[in-house]
């Protein structure tokens, strides 16, 4: 499994880990966006797109023999950090629905745009399946 890295004396992060150590088969998941498996958007809502994006990540991980518990790192690219911050409670619900209560090392970045015009979020992930 993986080990959460938390320096002594640091405040515990909420919703992510400062670091994760893991050993095993590495699965690199390309940036996923909020469309379905047929590359069609079902919603233009940020929270709905995040939910779909996370389900896409879980599906790709599963194709490599991994589950949400094996995801050790995520990088989120968002168009609107203010909307993201304002909707954190809703995002938490769809996150837990897809990922459970597992919080990998995460980075969130606001970007000027994404390749797909309707996309509001893109998330890249890394999973490690123990040997």
Could you tell me the residue range of the domain that residue 97 belongs to?
A: 15-130
- Residue 10, domain member (yes or no): no
Cα–Cα distance between 102 and 115 in angstroms, integer?
29
- Residue 111, domain member (yes or no): yes
What is the CATH number for 79? 3.30.1330.40
- Residue 22, domain member (yes or no): yes
- Residue 7, domain member (yes or no): no
pLDDT at 113: 98
In the numeric block, the tokens 């797909």 are attached to: 116
Q: What is the pTM of this model?
A: 0.94
* Number of CB atoms found within 10 A of residue 79's CB: 16
What single-letter DSSP state applies at residue 68?
G
The encoded tokens of residue 70 equal 């094996």
pLDDT digits (tens, 9 = 90+) for 97-124: 999 999 999 999 999 999 999 999 999 9
């Amino acid at each position: 499994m993986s080990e959460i890295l938390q320096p002594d004396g640091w405040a515990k992060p909420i919703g992510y880990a400062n670091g994760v150590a893991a050993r095993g088969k590495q699965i690199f998941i390309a940036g996923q966006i909020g469309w379905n498996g047929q590359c069609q958007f079902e919603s233009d809502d940020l929270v709905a797109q995040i939910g779909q994006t996370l389900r896409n990540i879980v599906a790709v991980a599963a194709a490599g023999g991994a589950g949400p518990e094996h995801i050790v790192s995520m990088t989120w690219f968002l168009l609107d950090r203010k909307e993201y911050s304002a909707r954190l409670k809703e995002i938490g619900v769809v996150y837990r629905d897809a990922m459970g209560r597992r919080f990998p090392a995460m980075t969130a970045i606001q970007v000027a745009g994404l390749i797909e015009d309707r996309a509001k979020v893109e998330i890249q992930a890394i999973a490690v399946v123990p040997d």
